[in-house]
């Protein structure tokens, strides 16, 4: 059987050019013992993948040059030599950026049996949703009545974070850019603040107007001016969950950090980074809590969908242009 996959031929500096991504084909070998062959139906692209294109190991190994790229995917089993899986089973795995995957069965996850679209397990009920839940509940120790600030608040992670935070009864403020994203936040009773064309001082002033009492929790997705402004608006004992710094992922040179880190001391605040994969054993707890709310329509989520394997690099690059609302997906 022929399979197609994307690979990169070099490690980029700055924003990766579209021509970096090359589409290859290969003939798959005969299915080995305990192997499963999957026809992918949905692919996920996520900002963390940019770090894997750096050539350096961070919390995860870099992508190999001229080898199939990897990422979360959902597909249907079309052939199996593993006792746990049979043809027709729907599964989630990490062999994305390709149309056909051939893997050992022990790295596959059967899709949970819930009344939700299957691609939800790449978004609101997948890694992004689990990231939002973990950052709030396990890192920031969200409490009833907390005032919460979320950057990139209309993205795959942030859009769930603001809704989970809203349920605890405090003031929730979301930072976003485009007018439609700000409108989405306001429609969900989230106080929306734009970061567009603002430095940290201006953004701090807008955050103060949105929530004069300051914030108990900051969910950090962006870095840069957003982080500096948030540090100015912390309450005593605030907790910051650091999920990512997307504004810095394509920097070609190391940037200076915010000059107001002393606010962590002044406000006796805690700032902690986390990687969601370190907490994956808690995924069943997350699914038990959030899954029924998604199935019943209590949680709103959006998807931005590109069509066809050939569009996977384009979908990925659009993440850094702010072109997505909610989860960015590729449908095969």
Beta pairing partners, 309:
none
Which architecture, in CATH terms, is 127-277? 3-Layer(aba) Sandwich (3.40)
Q: What does DSSP assign to residue 168? A: T
Per-residue pLDDT of the chain (332 residues), as tens digits, is: 999 999 999 999 999 999 999 999 999 999 999 999 999 999 999 999 999 999 988 888 999 999 999 999 999 999 999 999 999 999 999 999 999 999 999 999 999 999 999 999 999 999 999 999 999 999 999 999 999 999 999 999 999 999 999 999 999 999 999 999 999 999 999 999 999 999 999 999 999 999 999 999 999 999 999 999 999 999 999 999 999 887 666 655 666 778 999 999 999 999 999 999 999 999 999 999 999 999 999 999 999 999 999 999 999 999 998 888 899 999 99
Q: Class of 2-123+302-331 per CATH?
A: alpha beta
Residue 320 token pair: 């850094």
Q: What does DSSP assign to residue 98? A: B
120: left (phi over 0), alpha (psi -120 to 50) or beta: alpha
The kind and range of the H/E element at 14 are none
Look up the pTM and report it: 0.92
Helical spans, DSSP H, in the chain = 49-52, 127-134, 158-166, 179-187, 200-210, 225-231, 262-266, 283-295, 312-318
Domain ranges in the chain are 2-123+302-331, 127-277
Using the Cα atoms of residue 180, residue 185, residue 189 and residue 195 in order, give the sign of their dihedral: negative
Q: Which of 91, 53, 52 is nearest to 72 (CA)?
A: 91
Rounded CA-CA distance 282/137 in Å is 11
């Amino acid at each position: 059987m022929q399979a197609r996959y994307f690979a990169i031929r070099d490690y980029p500096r700055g924003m990766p050019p579209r021509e970096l991504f090359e589409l290859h084909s290969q003939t798959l070998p005969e299915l080995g013992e305990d192997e499963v062959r999957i026809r992918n139906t949905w692919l996920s692209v996520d900002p963390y993948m940019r770090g894997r294109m750096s050539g350096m190991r961070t919390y995860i190994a870099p992508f190999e040059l001229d080898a199939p790229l990897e990422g979360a995917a959902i597909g249907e089993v079309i052939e199996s030599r593993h006792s746990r899986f049979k043809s027709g089973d729907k599964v989630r795995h990490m062999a994305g950026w390709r149309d056909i995957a051939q893997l050992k069965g022990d790295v596959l996850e059967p899709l949970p049996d819930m009344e939700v679209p299957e691609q939800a397990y790449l978004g609101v009920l997948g890694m992004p949703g689990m990231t939002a839940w973990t950052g709030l509940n396990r890192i920031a120790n969200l409490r009833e009545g907390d005032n919460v600030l979320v950057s990139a608040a209309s993205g795959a992670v942030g859009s769930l974070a603001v809704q989970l935070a809203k349920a605890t009864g405090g003031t929730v403020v979301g930072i976003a850019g485009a007018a439609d994203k700000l409108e989405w936040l306001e429609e969900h009773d989230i106080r929306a603040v734009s970061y567009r064309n603002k430095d940290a001082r201006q953004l701090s002033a807008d955050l103060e107007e949105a929530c004069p009492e300051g914030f108990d929790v900051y969910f950090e997705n962006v870095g840069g001016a957003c982080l500096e402004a948030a540090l100015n608006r912390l309450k005593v004992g605030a907790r910051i969950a650091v999920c990512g710094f997307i504004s810095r992922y394509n920097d070609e040179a190391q940037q200076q950090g915010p000059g107001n880190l002393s606010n962590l001391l002044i406000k006796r605040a805690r700032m902690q980074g986390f990687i969601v994969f370190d907490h994956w054993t808690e995924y069943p707890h997350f699914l038990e809590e959030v899954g029924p709310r998604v199935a019943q329509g209590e949680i709103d989520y959006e998807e931005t969908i590109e069509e066809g394997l050939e569009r996977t690099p384009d979908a990925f690059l659009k993440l850094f242009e702010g072109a997505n609302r909610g989860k960015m997906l590729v449908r095969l």
